Amino acid sequence: MRYTKYFIPTYKEDPSEAEVISHKLMLRAGMIRKITTGIYTYLPLGLRCIRKVENIVRDEMNRAGAIELLMPAFQPAELWKESGRWDYYGKELLRFKDRYGRDACLGPTHEEVITAIVRNEIHSYKQLPVNFYQIQTKFRDEIRPRFGIMRCREFIMKDAYSFDADEEGANKSYEIMKETYHRIFKRCGFRFSMVEADTGTIGGSYSHEFMVLADTGEDQIVVCEKCGYAANLEKAEVSEIAEFQDEPELPMQEVDTPDIKSIEEVSSFLNVSPKKLVKTLICLVDEKPVAALVRGDHELNEIKLRNLFGAEQIRLADEEIVQEITGAPVGFAGPVGLKIKIVADHSIKGMKNFVTGANKKDKHLINVNIGRDFQVDTFADIRFITPQDRCPRCGNDILFKRGIEVGHIFKLGTKYSKAMNATFTDKDGKEKPFVMGCYGIGIGRCVAAAIEQSHDENGIIFPISIAPFEVIVLPVQMNDADVVKEAEKIYHKLLEAGIDVIIDDRDERAGVKFNDADLIGIPIRVTVGKKALKEQKLELKLRSEKEKELIPLSSVPEIVINKVKELYDSLK
């Protein structure tokens, strides 16, 4: 590629609209441009990186035996009604009506479509297992699109769906994908961690996320370096702590707390530690009210509570319902005298003489005790883990890290096949539902994550596998015929050797060329300059290193080709 025949509209200054470094650098490097909120064009350079990630993904999926197809983005509502998701997939689903008034949507994911296809096309256990994948544009009307193509409303995803005859087969398919994801993300040059995750609205029995480690990541993950336990914050289990407070039960007492509502306010007003407070949160679990109790310094994990009930939905009750159930405004709820189901976090079991709301405006209760003053229906793990907690597996210290979710694998089981009546005939002649798995990778997000993880003050430092070009040939003096001639010669030799190379043939100052090469993050730079050329030498520099190296003109292109190979080998 020739710079002058290509299109790389770089910016010198940081664009003000960007909050994170990858977004800034993708705009500055001329990789993406925003059309409207959460909707982007991939300019040629950005598209090159996208294609490189796609190629790695495709290569590894094919190698794992998955089969590529391409499904439509347009999906009829009927399929979503069959699976039951039309009603509870929220506003992220971009719904519309066609000219005949029929409901449809733009696919945020493709469980329904693939299940419908397999239901029609696959009838016998002999055709199983099978894993279909596609690389396609997805639509999600995200509530908060941000960070450029990291979280946008239209994005490219690789999604795969496995179909097996039984649990054992499905587990095998899942394990193959797990391994394949490790290979893919290694080839992308990521420092990443695989963590246990909740299955969310896609449903199913278990799942793992692949997190690229980066301080700016939106996700928090919990890791134990001793035993290797790793989970995202939503999922991280808290071990049951049997910490019993050894003190006599004091008489329960109602105290005035005028307009004192939050944990911080109550704690400082009554001069007690938040650890002596119990928060009572009125939740609607599939619209049924439940009181969830957690210690003052802990946070309720609604997903754990939802899972405890095997429910589809959960939300905090609004003012009106809280008033109706507790007889008091929000901020004064407590378990004493409540007529609804009470679920308490394990950490409350051993507490004595604690403070709760009194279910009366401007009143709290002190010296409340379980058993004597109220009963708990269920004790369970319903809170978020904290840095003070220990590893739920081995009891050692845990670390909190931040990550960017680039991939997600789910074991779906028979959720969709049962709902949509997708069955096959098994060995014994019986009709059985397919056992499914699904596996996603955010292609664009991978590019952004790579930049987030690897950059410096001058720009992007791409791993060679996803860089827009592997090598840039940079003639310094465009008015020197020898320089231009040598640069052209090297450029053509590298092209012939199959190297993805660009020559910066612009009639620009050297500084401008160096800055742009650094900004767009080409891993290998070959500089052709008048001075070195006199000694039959060229300058070789890796974007990831400070030092330059002078190499003999006679050993080009071999040295450069070897460097390219070396960089790829380091990603194996």
Site string for ligand ATP, 283-322 (x = CB under 6 A): ----------------------------------------
Select from 440, 459, 468, 557 the one that contacts ligand ATP (CB under 6 A).
Answer: 440
- The site for ligand ATP, by CB under 6 A, has a size of 15
Nearest approach in angstroms of CB 108 to Mg ion is 12
Place of tokens 């693939």: 114
Nearest approach in angstroms of CB 142 to ligand ATP is 5
Nearest approach in angstroms of CB 405 to Mg ion is 5
Query: Residue 72's Cα: distance from chain center in Å?
Result: 24
Nearest approach in angstroms of CB 482 to ligand ATP is 48
Query: Residue 359's Cα: distance from chain center in Å?
Result: 40
- The site for Mg ion, by CB under 5 A, has a size of 1
Q: Which one, 108 or 413, has the nearer CB to Mg ion?
A: 108
Would you put residue 66 in left (φ > 0), alpha (ψ -120 to 50) or beta? Answer: beta
Nearest approach in angstroms of CB 207 to Mg ion is 8
Q: Which one, 140 or 295, has the nearer CB to ligand ATP?
A: 140
Q: Which does 347 bind (CB under 5 to 8 A by kind): Mg ion, ligand ATP, none?
A: none
Strands 230-232 and 219-223: antiparallel
Q: Which one, 25 or 128, has the nearer CB to ligand ATP?
A: 25
Q: Which does 152 bind (CB under 5 to 8 A by kind): Mg ion, ligand ATP, none?
A: ligand ATP
Give the separation between CA 191 and CA 32, rounded to whole angstroms.
Answer: 24
- Specify the stretch interacting with ligand ATP by CB under 6 A; choose among 236-244, 321-329, 439-447, 482-490: 439-447
Select from 54, 103, 142, 362 the one that contacts ligand ATP (CB under 6 A).
Answer: 142
Nearest approach in angstroms of CB 203 to Mg ion is 12
Beta-bridge partner residues of 40:
34
Beta-bridge partner residues of 342:
291
Angle at 246 (CA atoms; ends 241, 250), nearest 5 degrees = 120
Helix (DSSP H) and strand (DSSP E) numbers for the chain? 15, 31
Position with the least CB separation from ligand ATP:
442
Q: Which one, 219 or 505, has the nearer CB to Mg ion?
A: 219
| Nearest to 163, CA basis, from 111, 201, 109, 107 | 111
The phi and psi torsions of 519 (rounded to 5 degrees) equal -60, -45
Give, as ranges, the residues between 72 and 111 that touch ligand ATP (CB under 6 A): 109
455 part of the interface to ligand ATP, by CB under 6 A: no
Q: Which does 433 bind (CB under 5 to 8 A by kind): ligand ATP, Mg ion, none?
A: none
Q: Which does 445 bind (CB under 5 to 8 A by kind): Mg ion, ligand ATP, none?
A: ligand ATP
140 part of the interface to ligand ATP, by CB under 6 A: yes
Site string for Mg ion, 153-172 (x = CB under 5 A): --------------------
Beta-bridge partner residues of 408:
209, 440
Nearest approach in angstroms of CB 77 to ligand ATP is 20
Q: Which does 442 bind (CB under 5 to 8 A by kind): ligand ATP, Mg ion, none?
A: ligand ATP
Select from 442, 475, 523, 529 the one that contacts ligand ATP (CB under 6 A).
Answer: 442
Give the separation between CA 361 and CA 329, rounded to whole angstroms.
Answer: 6
Give the separation between CA 149 and CA 33, rounded to whole angstroms.
Answer: 10
Whether the CB-CB separation of 449 and 190 falls below 8 Å is answered with yes
Select from 445, 455, 541, 563 the one that contacts ligand ATP (CB under 6 A).
Answer: 445
Q: Which one, 89 or 155, has the nearer CB to ligand ATP?
A: 155
Give, as ranges, the residues between 190 and 209 that touch ligand ATP (CB under 6 A): none
Whether the CB-CB separation of 353 and 247 falls below 8 Å is answered with yes
444 part of the interface to ligand ATP, by CB under 6 A: yes
Give, as ranges, the residues between 398 and 417 that touch ligand ATP (CB under 6 A): 405-408
In this structure, which long-range contacts are made by residues 179-184, counting pairs with CB atoms below 8 Å and at least 24 apart in sequence?
179/64, 180/60, 180/61, 180/63, 180/64, 181/210, 181/407, 181/409, 181/439, 181/441, 183/60, 184/56, 184/57, 184/60, 184/407, 184/441
Looking at the chain, how many residues does it have?
Answer: 572
Q: Which does 204 bind (CB under 5 to 8 A by kind): Mg ion, ligand ATP, none?
A: none
Other beta carbons less than 10 A from residue 202's beta carbon: 19
Q: Which one, 312 or 362, has the nearer CB to Mg ion?
A: 312
Select from 28, 408, 525, 541 the one that contacts Mg ion (CB under 5 A).
Answer: 408
Give, as ranges, the residues between 144 and 173 that touch ligand ATP (CB under 6 A): 151-152, 155, 157
Handedness of CA 428, 433, 439, 440 (dihedral sign): positive
Other beta carbons less than 10 A from residue 125's beta carbon: 18
Nearest approach in angstroms of CB 26 to ligand ATP is 13
Give the separation between CA 510 and CA 62, rounded to whole angstroms.
Answer: 43
Nearest approach in angstroms of CB 370 to ligand ATP is 36
Strands 253-256 and 363-368: antiparallel
Whether the CB-CB separation of 60 and 180 falls below 8 Å is answered with yes
What are the residues binding ligand ATP (CB under 6 A)? Answer: 109, 140, 142, 151-152, 155, 157, 405-408, 440, 442, 444-445
Q: What residues make contact with Mg ion under the rule CB under 5 A?
A: 408
